[in-house]
A and B are shown apart, each in its own frame.
Chain A
Amino acid sequence: MTKMILRRLLVSVLVLFVVSVLIFGATLLLPGDPARAILGQQATPERIAALTEQLGLDRPAWERYFSWLGGILTGDLGFSAATQGPVGELLGGRIAASALLLVVTAVISTPIALALGAWAAVRRGTRTDSGVSGFSLVLAALPEFVIGVLLVVVFATSVFRILPSVTIARPGEPVWARPEQLVLPVLTLALVVVPYVVRMTRATLSETLDAGFVEMARLKGLPERTVLVRHAVPHTIGPVAQVIAMQLAWLAGGVVVVEFLFRYPGIGEALIDAVANRDVQVVQAITLIIAAFYVLVNLAADVAGILADPRIRTASGGVS
C-alpha cells in the first residue's frame, strides 16, 4: 500500500514538471510583449527597451525557464512586470482570498451534497429521488456565469436588494472583513459543485445497495441503518472521494470566472489582469499554483480511495 502511494506521489511530481514546461511554453506563445502591454499606447521605444532589459526578456528562453524553475523550488515566484515587485508579494493576499472562497464552498457544499445524494439513493424511485435528481441535472447544465448573474439579479440588484453584488475592500482590508460580500460568490460556486457530487453519490450508493453483500447483510437481519453505515457506505468512499476531488480541483479553476463576475480579489482576477498585461511571471505562477492544487487533490483522492478500498487495505501491499 505504501508503495502504491509513493508511486502516485512520484507520478504527481512528474506531471507537475511536464505542466511547468507546458505553462512556460504557452506563455512564450502569447502574442505581444510585456513591455509594450504595460506601457500601453504611451510607450516610446526607449521606455520599451529599458523595460525589456529590466525584465530579462532579452535572455534565451531555456535560460529563463531554468531560472524560473529554480526560483519556484526555492519559493521565489519571480518578478512581476506590472507591479515592478515580487510575484509572491502580489499573490499572497490573493491566494488567501481564493483559498477562503474555496474552503468555505467545500465545507458548506460537500456535506449537503453527500446527504442529498444518499437521501436520493436510499429513497430510489420515489418522488424525493426524482426531485433531487432532476433539480441537480438542471443545475449541472447551467454554467456558473449564468448562475452568478441570476443570483445577482435576485439578491442584489432587482428583486431583493439585500446582498452586495461585488466585493469591495479598502486597501489593506482582508476580504473576510465584510462577510456578506462572500455570500453570492460562495453560493454560486456551491450551486455548481453540489449537483455533480449529488449525482455521483446517488449512483454509487444505489449500485452498492443492490450488490450481493448488502443483500446478504439484509438477509442476516441487520437493521437497515447498520447495513447502510457499516456495509454500503465504505464501498462508496473511493468513487465519491474522486468526484469531490475533481470538484475541488475544478473549483480552483472555476473561481476564475466567479471572481471575474463578482470582482473578487483572488488569483482568478489576478490571472485575467496578468494575461491582459502580458505579465508572464504572474500568469506562470498562478497557472502552476492551480495545477499543483489539481494534482494535489487528485493525489489525496487516490490515497483516500486506496485507504477506503477493503481489497487493497487488507492485502499486504504490492497488489494493484
Chain B
Amino acid sequence: MISPTAAPFTRRRLLGGAAGLAAAAFLAGCGGPAAARDAGPPRRGGVLRVGVTGGGASDTLDPHSPATNPDIARTLSLYEPLLHWDDAYTLQPAVAEAVRPDPGARTWTATIRSGITFHDGRPVTPDDVVATFRRITDPDDPKSGASQLGILDDVVVAGDRQVRFVLSEPSPVFDQYLAEYSCGIVPTDFDVERPVGTGAFRFESFAAGQQSAFVRYDGYWRPDQPWVDRLELINFSEDDARINALLSGQVDAIDQVPLSLTEVVGAYESVRLLTSETGGWLPFTMRVDVAPFDDVRVRQALRLIAGRDEMVNQVLSGLGTHASDLYARFDPEYLDPRREQDIERARDLLSAAGKPNLSLELVTSPIQAGAVEAAQVYATQARAAGVEIGLRRVDTSTFFSDQYLQWEFAQSFWNTRNYIPQASQSSMPDAPFNETHWDDAEYQGVIRRARSEVDTTLRAQLVRRAQQIEFDRGGYLIWGYPDRVDAHQAYVGGLVPNRTGLSLSGYEFRKAWVNA
C-alpha cells in the first residue's frame, strides 16, 4: 500500500543516497569540520558505540548459531573459544592456555587457562568445556559450529584443568576448528536468556534488530582489557544510514564502508578508515556435474576470460588483490599461482569443447558487497570471448533458499580459512557447502591423506598437490580477495587491520579505547 509517489527501493535509490554522500563530502571540503581529536595512548573508560551491518528480528545471542554480522560481533564480545585467530591470522590461546595433539593426532588435549572465570564469577571447568561441545554437536539440534566438527567423536574430562577431544580419524589441524567464533565456551547450565561467557564484556541488554549493550567484565583474564566501560552495538540494515550515523557523530565506529564510498568517507578529517587485507573470497561457482561445466575445458576457458585486475579495480575500487582461482591465501602452504586473462586461449578451449558460442545464465545476488558488480563486469568481459552471460538477479533470501547449492552458475562468499579446513567446508563431497559439486577422486584422496597426515613436510606437499588439482580443474572461479574497509572516529584507538575477514579488528572491541 505504498502510494505511487513512493517508488520501490532500487539500486537507483541507493545511488541517490550515494550521490547525497558525494554532495556531503563536497560540502565538507568547503566548510571543513572542526579539527579531529586524536586517539592518543590507550586509556580506560568511556563508551564505544558501533554501527554493525545487517541483522534483524531473528538476531540471536546464541554463541553457537551466529548468522549475521551483529550476531558475530555480539558473540565475540560475550564469549571466547578455546583458541582464537589473532589479527595476523595465527592461532593464539584463549580460554585454553594450550591445545596439543597426542602422538598420531587422533586425540587432542586442551588445558584450561588457570584463573579464567565466567561473567558470574565461576571458574571455567572441564565440565563446562565438555558441555559446550555437547551443545554444539547435539544430534537433535546441531548448531552452526557443528558442521566443522564432524570428526569429533567424543569430548571427555581428562584432569582438573584438562579436556580430551577424541576424533574419528587423525587430524593434525583440529585446533583450527576449535578457534572458530561459533565455538565459544559456556557454562554447563548455559541459558541463552542469561548469556554468560568468558568474553571481555558482560551482557546488559538486547533488542533484536536494534541494539545491544554490554559492560566491562572486571574479571577478564587479559590485563587492562577491555579499555572501555561500555559497548553498544547498533544494527544498521542500510549503508547510507550507517555512514550518516558516523558522520553525524552518533556512533564511534562502523563496519563495512562500501568500497565505492571509501574516498568520500575518508575525506572527512574527523574520520579514520581502517583497511584490512583479508583471506575472504567472492567466487563464481560452476557446478562441475552439469553441462557445460562438466567439461574441464569450459571451466578453464571461463577462468581465462576473467580480467582479474580489471575486476579488482572496477568492483573493489582497487581495494583488493588479484586471485587465481585458489583460496586460503594466508595458509603457509598457499601456492600463489598466477592466471591472467587470455581471451584467445579461452576461445580455443571453447572451440575444442565444441561450444564456440556459449550462452549461460549466472545467478547473482547482493550476498556481499561487490557480488552483483562482479557479475556485471565479468559478463561484459565474457562477451569478448563470444560467451553470452545473462544475469539473473535474485534477492539474498532467494539466493540462499532451497536452490542454494543447486544453482548451476552462481556466486558465493567465504571468510579467511586455511586450506584444509576450507576444503572440508566446500570442496569435498561430504562438505556441507560443496557449491561446485566438485567430486574429483584424486583430489579427495589427497585431501583425506592431508587431513590425517601428522608429518608436517608430507602434509605440506599434499596441501600443495591439492591446490594444484583445484587450480587445474576445480569449479571455482576466484578473481580476487576483497579488502575490508571500516571507519571510525579519529578519537577511537586500538582498532588495527585484521586478516580474519571480520570487520573492525575482528569485532574484538576489547582492544579499542576512546579518547572522549
Contact = CB atoms under 8 A, between A and B. Distances in A.
Pair from one complex: yes
Given A36-B401, A261-B240, A171 B212 contact: yes
A158 B234 CA distance: 22
A90 interface: yes
Interface in B1-52: 1-3, 5-7, 9, 13, 16-17, 19-21, 23-25, 27-28, 31, 33, 49
B433 interface: yes
B241 A276 contact: no
A115 B221 CA distance: 66
A38 to B, nearest CB: 5
B120 to A, nearest CB: 21
B396 A166 contact: no
B397 A256 contact: no
Interface stretch (B194-202, B247-255, B436-444): B247-255
Interface stretch (B73-81, B203-211, B344-352, B469-477): B203-211
Contact of A253 (B1, B213, B241): B1
Interface in A126-184: 143-146, 149-150, 152-153, 156-159, 161, 163-166, 168-172
Contact of A263 (B17, B144, B241, B394): B241
A274 interface: yes
Interface string A1-22: 0000000000000000000000
B210 A169 contact: yes
Contacts of B294: none
A246 B5 CA distance: 12
B20 A150 contact: yes
Nearest to A19: B1
A257 B240 CA distance: 13
B241 A262 contact: yes
A164 B246 CA distance: 10
Most buried by A among B13, B17, B245: B245
Contacts of B205: 170-172
Given A152-B20, A157-B24, A170-B205, A37 B2 contact: no
B142 A83 contact: no
B58 interface: yes
Contact of B248 (A41, A157, A170, A253): A157
B460 interface: no
Contacts of A153: 20-21, 23-24, 27
B250 A257 contact: no
B248 A165 contact: yes
Contacts of B90: none
Contacts of A254: 2-3, 5-6
Contacts, number: 197
Interface in B233-263: 234, 236-238, 240-241, 244-245, 247-251
A256 B6 contact: yes
Interface string B43-78: 000000100000011100000010110000000000
Most buried by B among A42, A82, A161, A287: A42
Interface residues of A, number: 71
Nearest to B56: A273
B265 to A, nearest CB: 10
Contacts of B248: 152, 156-157, 161, 163-166
Interface of B: 1-3, 5-7, 9, 13, 16-17, 19-21, 23-25, 27-28, 31, 33, 49, 56-58, 65, 67-68, 141-142, 144, 147, 205-213, 232, 234, 236-238, 240-241, 244-245, 247-251, 394-398, 400-402, 404, 432-433
23 contacts: A32-B397, A32-B398, A32-B401, A33-B401, A40-B400, A43-B400, A46-B142, A82-B58, A145-B13, A149-B20, A153-B24, A157-B28, A157-B244, A158-B24, A158-B31, A165-B250, A168-B250, A253-B2, A254-B2, A257-B2, A257-B6, A260-B9, A273-B56
Given A161-B248, A257-B6, A260-B238, 14 more contacts: A36-B402, A37-B397, A40-B400, A42-B65, A82-B58, A146-B20, A149-B17, A149-B20, A152-B248, A161-B249, A168-B211, A250-B6, A253-B2, A270-B57
Q: Which 5 A-B pairs have the closest CB atoms?
A: A149-B20, A32-B401, A82-B58, A171-B207, A157-B247
